[in-house]
Amino acid sequence: MNMFCFQCEQTAQGKGCTIQGVCGKNADTSNLQDELTSKLIELANCDEKNESNTELLIDGLFTTVI
Ligand code: SF4
């Protein structure tokens, strides 16, 4: 699996981590977190706004902070 992560300000040379994350993250984790964030953006853009969705967004985003 190819590595490309641009999820934080510590990214290698400001261009994205492409071999191994500066933080130690591997390609599998990076790709899963990209997928999760994409789905959270879809949820944020959906028409149904409620407390449950808000909690899910917060929990989902904090799972990407490692
Ligand atoms: S692999 Fe880690 S250090 Fe590199 S951009 Fe992603 S989160 Fe930041």
Break the chain into its structural domains and give their ranges.
Answer: 12-63
Per-residue pLDDT tens digits for 35-46: 999 999 999 999
Q: Is 22's C-beta closer than 6 angstroms to any atom of ligand 1?
A: yes
Q: Is 4's C-beta closer than 6 angstroms to any atom of ligand 1?
A: no
Per-residue pLDDT tens digits for 6-47: 999 999 999 999 999 999 999 999 999 999 999 999 999 998
Q: Is 26's C-beta closer than 6 angstroms to any atom of ligand 1?
A: no
- 3-state secondary structure at position 61: helix
Q: Is 11's C-beta closer than 6 angstroms to any atom of ligand 1?
A: yes
Distances (CA, A) of 6 to 20, 38, 50, 51, 53: 12, 14, 30, 30, 26
The Å distance, Cα 35 to ligand 1 centre, comes to: 15
